[in-house]
Amino acid sequence: MYQSTAIDIVIPSFRLDENVLLNIFNVERPAGFLVNFYIVADNPLLAIPDNILILAAEDKINLIKNEINLGFSKTRNNGIRLGKGKWVLLLDDDIAPSKKLLIAYAEAIKKNPDSIGFAGVTNFPPPFNAATQAMDINGTTGHFKAALDNKPLVWVPTANVMLNREKMDITLFNEKLDKGGEDVEFLLRNCLLYKEKYIPVPDAVVEHPWWDNGAIQTERIFRYGRGAADIAVLDTIKPYTYHDFLNTSELFFLLLVFSPLIMFFYSVNGLGLLMSIILFVEILTNVIKAFYKSKTFSLPVALDLFWIKNCYEAGYLYQSLLSGRLLGFGERIEMGFAKENPSWFRLNKWKLIKMILLLVLFIITRF
C-alpha cells in the first residue's frame, strides 16, 4: 500500500541544467502532501551541478547518476521504481513549472483519489519564425496542450503527467522503444488495462521552450516517425492501425522500385515528370494549408510545414522497411484511439485537395 498523499516527482535528465532543475525543486508544495524528488542523471559525461549535489547531500532530493546513457524509458523506469508515493509526477528536464503546479494536482487528487492519473498542460511559446509556425500548424505541439480541452485522455506527453502507482502496468515503459512513442504505448496500455482515462487538469501548467531555440526539427521529427512505426506492431497499438492513401514518401518509393519499368515503357523524362508532379503538388498543398491555418501567405512557413510533415512520414516508412515489415507501407495509427479496427482510406480536405491537384496536373501533362 502506497502513501496516498505522497507525490514522487521523477525527472530523467540528460541536460542537467541547474537553473531548470532548481526551478522545478522550488515549486510550491501543497499542504498535507509529502513531495519527494527523484532526479536521474542520464549523461555520465556531464558533471552534476554543485547546487544539485548540495540538495542531494542534505537529503532534499534523491539523486541517481547512470554509469552509461540508458535513454528515457529505462531512466524513467528506474526513477519510478525508487519512489514509494502513490502519485508519480513525470516531468521533462527542460520545462518551467508554474508555481501552482503541485497545488493543481493536489486538488485533482482530492477530488479523484482513485483516478488512474492526471494530464497536465505543457505550453510552448508563441511561434516566432517559419519553423515554429510550421510546427504549430502541423500540430506537433498539439498533444502537449490536449488537457486544455478538459476531456478525458488516453495519453499525454511525459513532459507533464501524473500517474497513480497503484494503476500502472508493472512493466512500466517499454525499454526497447528508444526513438519515441514510449509515452503513447505505456499510457494507453494503462488505460486499456484499468479501463479508465486520465483526468485533465488545465491548471497544472508547465512551460516548454521551442527545441533548439526554434530551429527546424529534421532529426527529431524523423525519429518520431520511426518511433511511431516501432509502436505500431505492439499489441497495445496494433488494433488501432489502419491503411490509408499513399503519402509522398511512399509514392516516391514506389516510383523508385518500379523505375526500370517506367523508364522502359515510358521514358526517363516521364519518370522525372511523375516525380516532379508529386513533389510540386505536395508543396502546393502545404502552401494552401499554411495559408488556410495562418491566414497569411508565407512560402518559408509552407516549405517548413512540407518538410516536417514529410520527415515524419519518411521516418515511418524507413523504420518499417528497415525492420522488414511490408505491412508498414501505407500504415497509419489512429492517434485518438477512439475504437479498435478503424476504417481504412480516410479522406479529409487536404487529401481531397492533393488528389484533385494530382489529377489536374496528370491530365494537363498527358494531353
Decide if pLDDT at 326 tops 60. Answer: yes
pLDDT-derived band of residue 1, with 50, 70 and 90 as boundaries? low
Q: How far apart are CA 197 and CA 330, in angstroms?
A: 29
| Domains detected in the chain | 3-212 (3.90.550.10), 232-366 (no CATH)
Split at pLDDT 50, 70, 90, the class of 367 is: very low
Report, as an integer, the average pLDDT of 304-332. 96
Helix (H) or strand (E) run with residue 201 in it: strand 199-207
pLDDT computed for residue 2 by the predictor: 74
Using CA atoms, how far apart are residues 56 and 203, in angstroms rounded to an integer? 30
Helices assigned H by DSSP within the chain: 18-25, 50-57, 71-82, 101-111, 130-138, 182-194, 218-232, 248-257, 259-265, 268-294, 299-322, 349-366
Q: What is the pLDDT of residues 126-156, one digit of tens each?
A: 999 999 999 999 999 999 999 999 999 999 9
Q: 114-123 pLDDT, tens per residue?
A: 999 999 999 9
Assess whether pLDDT exceeds 50 at residue 187. yes
Tens of pLDDT, residues 280-299 = 999 999 999 999 999 889 99
Q: Are 245 and 350 in contact (CB under 8 A)?
A: no
Instruction: Look at residue 42 and give its three-state secondary structure.
Output: coil
Instruction: Check residue 23 and give its pLDDT.
Output: 96
> Which amino acid is it at 309?
K
Q: Would you state the cell numbers that stand for residue 182, as one nine-digit string? A: 514510449
pLDDT-derived band at 360, boundaries 50, 70, 90: very high
Cell numbers placing 26:
522550488
pLDDT at 348: 92
Query: Are 235 and 335 within 8 A, CB to CB?
Result: no
- Residue 184 confidence (pLDDT) above 80: yes
Largest CA distance in the chain: 79
The predicted-structure confidence for 193-233, as pLDDT tens digits, reads as follows 999 999 999 999 999 999 999 999 999 999 999 999 999 99
What is the CB neighbour count within 10 angstroms for residue 247? 21
| Beta-bridge partner residues of 38 | 10, 62
**What torsion do the CA atoms of 108, 158, 167, 99 make, to the nearest 10 degrees?**
-30
In this prediction, residue 362 carries a pLDDT of 85
By the 10 Å C-beta count (0-12 exposed, 13-18 middle, 19+ buried), 367 is classed as: exposed
Q: Assign residue 344 a region (left: φ > 0; alpha: ψ between -120 and 50; beta: otherwise).
A: beta
Q: What is the mean pLDDT of the chain?
A: 94
- What pTM was estimated for this model as a whole? 0.93
- Mean pLDDT in residue range 156-167: 96
CA distance 47 to 53: 10
